[in-house]
Each structure stands twice: as structure tokens, then as C-alpha cells.
Amino acid sequence: MRIGHITTAVLLIALVSPPAHCQTDWPMYGHDDSSNRYSPLTQINTGNVAGLTRVWTYHMATAAPANTTQPSARPANASQPGSASRSATPGSAPVQRSRGQLYSEATPIMIGNVLYMSTPYHSVIALDAETGKLLWNYQLDTTQASERGVSYWPGDGDAPSSIIFGTTDGRLWSLNAATGKPNSNFGENGSINLLEGITNGVARPRLDVSTPPPIYKNLVITGGRTQESPSKGPSADTRAWDLHTGKLVWRFHSVPHKGELGNNTWPENGWQARGGTNVWGFMSIDEKRGILYLPYGSPTYDFYGADRQGDGLFGNCLVALNVETGKLVWYFQVVHHDMWDYDLESAPVLMDVKQHGKTIPAVALISKDGLLFFFDRRNGKPIFGVEERPVPASPIPGEHSSPTQPFPLKPAPLGPHSFSPQDIADVTPEQKAFCTNLLATEGGMASGGPFTPYGNKLTVVMPGSLGVANWGGMSFNPKLGYLFINTSYIGDVGKVAPNTVSKDPAYRRTSPWGTYGRFWNNDKFWPCQKPPWGELWAINVNTGDVAWKVPFGQIKELEDKGVFGTGTLNFGGSITTAGGLIFIAASNDQIFRAFDAATGKVLWSTKLETGAYVTPITYRAANGKQYVVLAVTGGSYYDTTSGDAIAAFALP
């Protein structure tokens, strides 16, 4: 199963009761360092959530300069969600946003009655948590702040409380939380250049800090998003920085150097200047044990790896580090020699698993391929077992695909991992005809089971690179012992062919619709396999069994024809509360919902002005009222409507 253990002692940190603000505020993206996105608040609960109403709205465009336009944050071949320009898909021209049509994937945080959030208008803002009134606005020049939010550091006697975030031009910023002004002692006038020391001689290196960086004591930890192609590029090492000064404290090589553990999983010189192998998603921290958990993405190039023969550590690995020193504690690789862009990207979720009268400190991990793993977070041992199973070999010249891939014994895969012509969607005669014709492209597409490689003819790969799960990730309710995951099911179509544009890589993924062909009807955003196309799951973490699952999202056009339970594609995440609720938007029907966490029953819903492809938060403000807040801007891959709202809901 290719698990690695390191015997280096882990620094034990004394367990401290959580600060009072953690009980009422939402001080970081995942609510706390465990990333369980669980609030202990109960004012809004299963008995009264039906009365939830919108109480204020803040329009982000009101604080933006009149000439603000969407920054060019993602190139056309970026693999992370949100890039409209790369959505070339079967059935129509790519989905494009109009000029000025901005969108947000950001989740605000709330500390001390103040909301902090990055906006798509080149800014970071602070709002009154009770009214939505703007308190301050820090305007960047041409770069964009972390698209999924910001982090908060409480400061100490030597530095003020601060808002920390990265940018699309590879900088890390520190702002005074009270004033919104840069902290002059941090780096150079409030920011540091994260590209220094990692460019590998690349002329135009890219590093985009797309998620809020975690903070531990006086350290801020950074990963980032680098280029998908060519194979060689800037290093995506994980680094820790001193929050007082911005000076580097430690650096972990995501691609092991000569003499380091894992270097032998790369060919000679194949590790040098390797791109990808990065943490572009969310990290988590076990504060008690001083362990940092890192979900690494795939090495470049994503779909052809002749120059990276071998497993390629630490690509597609969950890596545990000593957070104080950056030293390796353990690792587990969930995809060997990735050829599908099956990144790890959502936050590892920390919880306790109870088995046979014992409590196991655990970490749950899901990747784009929809396989859910549970590990003992002290040593990386699988809790429910993992086995290596044979998978198809790649037919592409020079490729060295892994003969096996790891599969957890429990739970079963979340969503389909195969496709055959019998699975064509037949929700309407028109959809069946469209998808049947699509499958016949270029003499008929190939297809198969789990980890089917892209071959030398068009192939349906299920799931595709958008994933069963993506950065929206999971939430965990400790009262129930349930882990919640919203899933989408859409395949990709493509083949691997000689690269006629560049020698690096020698072969590239391609299709008649561009690099990223999707197996869907792009006119309607309906996938071409039978539904469901989106579901919400509850997994019992103590048994690994499915507690419940329900279709997630509605398609009114199909329901009007008598077709129900299809679910929809969705991006974004859930939160859960001690009031027995799950709050989630994410679905492309533009509906915000509250579910009963114990049963999966919808208890409340409201139609938004556009989609909200984000994760919400909930908090209790100084006035004693509990609020639920999220950004509502449209966007994602399948929503051309736009908005600029931050919306707050509460009981009357």
C-alpha cells in the first residue's frame, strides 16, 4: 500500500481548551485547525430553521474602483475549478464570462464581530458582522487576493492582530486587522515575494496562493498553485514563515532531493525543476500533537509522465509534517504516478474514530477520484484497510503507468468509477440522442473501469479531472459521528497524442473540444451518463458505512417532465452545527439549503439571485444573534449569471 513512516519524534504540544471566540466566531476557513467546519451554536436548529430569512446584503462592487476587471489569474489550461476559458466542451463553444463579470469562491471569517474576506475586486475587506457595513477596504493594484479567503493571526506583544493572505502574483501579505493597513515589519512594506528561491531558472514562473494559509503560533504555512505544463517549472515546496518578520523558518521539498527519502521514486534527474506536486488546496493541523497535514496534487505534466517514471513522491500524497520544524512524520500516496489530474485538494479532516472500545485519533481524506480514506493521524495506518488492485496499463509510448492503485476497503467509492455505452443518460430523448452521438465521435470512444488511462483514441474517463470531490471537501459533526461530502459525477473525454506545439511534454491530452473535453451536454450542463449527477453523503466514521445519501440539487426542466432525483453538478462545501444542521449552497440550481444532519431531509431552502459556489459560515454576533453568511456571485463552470453579494441570514 506504499505507506511511509518516519521515526523522528513528534513534538507534543499541551492540549489547551479552545479560545472562547472559537465557540461563537468562525475564525478560520475550516472553523478550526481540524478543518471539521463544525459550529457548536444551536440558536438556529432543526426545530426553527424553517424561519430563516435574509437580514442583510453587502455588494462587493460598491467598494471597488470603477475600472476593476477580472484579473488573469488562471491560464486556459489550469486544472483547478473556476477557469471559464478552459471549459471547451462537447456541444457548444466554451462558457465565457462577459467583461467585468466577476465571481468569488471565498469564504469569510469572523473574529470579534468583524468579517474579513477577499473579493474578486482586487481587495480585502472588513465588515461589521451584525450589519454588513464596510469597516475598511484594502485595495491591491493589479493582483488578486487568495480567491478562497484570508487567514487571521491574533498577534502577540510584538505584533498586532493581522489578516494574512496570498496573491496571484506570488506574494504573501500581512494587514493590520484593525485598520487594514500593511504591517510594515512584515517583509517589505507588508509583503514578501514567495517566488524567491523556487523559480528553478524559469523565465516566467507562476505561483498563486489560492487558499487561505494555515497559521500555527507565530508561523504561517504556504503552498500554492503552479503551472500545469510544461513538466519543468518552479518548485512548489511547502514553507513556513515568521509572522513577525516574514523570514523563512523551514522548507519541505515536495519533490525529494538527492539523498532525501523518496528521491528514488523518480528517474535520475527527473525530480529536478519538477512542476506541480503542490498543495494548492487546504491544510489542517493537529494542535495537540503539533502535526501539519498536507494534501499534495499531481506532478506535471498531469496526463503524460514518461519523464517521471516511478511513483513520484510526494505527488498525490497525504503528508504529515512536524509543524514546528517541517520534518517528515509519515506519508501515504493515494494515487501512484498520476495520469488523470486526480489531485488531493480538499482539507484533511481530523476527528476521533471509536472502534472496539478504543478511540483512534483519525484523519479523513478524499481526492478527486472519490475514494475516501481514513488514517490513524499519528502514524498513517489505514483504519478500515487498503488494498492495491490491478488497473489498466497505458498504451502510450514511453509511459510507465503503475500496475496497481490503492483502494480503501471501506467505505465503497463515492460515485461511479466506470462507464459503458449502456450507461448513456436517457432522461429525455434529446439528451440520449446527443450523448449517443457524442460517444460515436471519431469512430466511437473507448471506456472502462477505475483508472482507465487516456489512450491513443478518444476515451471516456470516469471520474474526470473536475473530480467526484474537489476543494469544497467535507464537514464533520462530532455529535453524530457523521462526515458529510457533496459529490458531482461527470466524466472527461480525451486522448493522449504527440505534442505538435512543444517538445515538453512529448505527448499531450487533447480532444476535438480542446484540452479539457467534458462528457456532457454543454448547452444544459447535463452529464452524459445516467443520473444521479450530484449527491450529498453522510458517512459514519466509526464504521465506515453510509449513514444516508440523497440526491443533491434539482433540475426544474426535468422535474417538469416527471424526472426527479437527478441531482446537479456542484462546487463548494458544507458546514454543520450542534443545532443538527448542514448548510450548503454549491449546487447549480442556485438554491441555498439546510439539511437535517441526522437524516438528510431538506428543512429549509431559498433561491438565490445566482449560484453560490463557496462554503458558508455561521457565527453568533455581539448582539446575541446567530447568522449564516456566504458569498453569492455565480461563476464556476456552469453558471453564466453574475452577482457581487455577501448575504447574511438569521431568524426573525
200 pLDDT band, cuts 50/70/90, is confident
Name the residue among 438, 443, 409, 410 with its Cα closest to residue 424. 438
Distances (CA, A) of 153 to 135, 176, 252, 286: 18, 10, 23, 17
Which segment of 166-180, 369-383, 624-638 scores lowest on mean pLDDT?
Answer: 624-638
Average pLDDT, the chain: 90
160: pLDDT strictly greater than 70: yes
DSSP 5-63: E--SPPPP----PPPTHHHHSB-STTSSTT---EE---SS-TTTGGG-EEEEEEEGGGG
Average pLDDT over residues 76-99: 32
86 pLDDT band, cuts 50/70/90, is very low
Cα 451 vs. chain centroid, distance in angstroms? Answer: 21
Domains and CATH numbers, the chain: 3-650 (2.140.10.10)
pLDDT for position 342 = 97
69 pLDDT band, cuts 50/70/90, is very low
**CA–CA distance, 331 with 292 (Å, rounded to integer):** 11
- Whole-number percent of the chain with pLDDT over 70: 91
Which segment of 79-88, 277-286, 296-305, 323-332 scores lowest on mean pLDDT?
Answer: 79-88
638 pLDDT band, cuts 50/70/90, is confident
**CA–CA distance, 461 with 467 (Å, rounded to integer):** 11
277: DSSP letter: -
3 pLDDT band, cuts 50/70/90, is low
The residue to which cell 436548529 is assigned = 45
Quick: pLDDT tens for 242-251.
999 999 999 9
| pTM, rounded to two decimals | 0.93
Give the bridge partners for 627, in sequence order: 619
Contact partners, residue 497, CB within 8 Å, separation at least 6: 456, 507, 508, 510
Quick: pLDDT tens for 492-509.
999 999 999 888 889 999
The more confidently predicted of residues 99 and 539 is: 539
**CA–CA distance, 553 with 530 (Å, rounded to integer):** 15
**CA–CA distance, 468 with 420 (Å, rounded to integer):** 18
269: pLDDT strictly greater than 90: no
18: pLDDT strictly greater than 60: no
DSSP 79-139: -STT-STT--BTTBSPP-PPTT--------EEETTEEEEEETTTEEEEEETTT--EEEEEE
Which segment of 6-10, 410-414, 550-554, 635-639 scores lowest on mean pLDDT?
Answer: 6-10
Distances (CA, A) of 508 to 13, 251, 455, 494, 499: 47, 32, 11, 10, 5
Enter the C-alpha cell of residue 80: 483547478
Name the residue among 512, 402, 420 with its Cα closest to residue 462. 420
pLDDT for position 199 = 87
Give the β-pairing of 507-510 and 492-498: antiparallel
The residue to which cell 478543518 is assigned = 35
87: pLDDT strictly greater than 80: no
Average pLDDT over residues 365-393: 97
13 pLDDT band, cuts 50/70/90, is very low
pLDDT for position 5 = 53
CB 141 within 8 Å of CB 123: no
101 pLDDT band, cuts 50/70/90, is low
pLDDT for position 2 = 55
Enter the C-alpha cell of residue 267: 528517474
Which segment of 92-106, 135-149, 260-274, 334-348 scores lowest on mean pLDDT?
Answer: 92-106
Average pLDDT over residues 76-91: 30
pLDDT for position 9 = 37
For 113, phi then psi, to 5°, come to 75, 20
226: pLDDT strictly greater than 90: no
84: pLDDT strictly greater than 60: no
For 482, phi then psi, to 5°, come to -110, 135
Question: Please, how many CA atoms are within 13 Å of residue 502, restricted to the half-sphere of its CB?
Answer: 9
